[in-house]
Amino acid sequence: MITITISHPNGRQQDVLLSGVPRAGESVLLQNGNSPKLIVEHVVWIEGGNGGASPTVLVEVRHRDE
């Protein structure tokens, strides 16, 4: 599992656990039950630095238009 930060179109950010990092164009369905299906727009990796910190993954999403 990897912790990623999801950046929603309204500016809200949310940390979630995923089994892997999604790619641009893929769908993400969060397990909280009331979340709409999301489409990944961009993925940004930020290195953890010299202290051995884990990298940060920022995933920008939009709501799926159905």
Question: For residue 64, how far is the Cα from the chain centroid?
Answer: 15
**What pLDDT is attached to residue 25?**
92
Give dist(CA 53, CA 56) in Å, integer.
9
> How far apart (Å, rounded) are the C-alpha atoms in residues 26 and 30?
13
- Total-model pTM: 0.67
Give per-residue pLDDT as tens, 18-44. Answer: 778 889 999 887 776 566 688 889 998
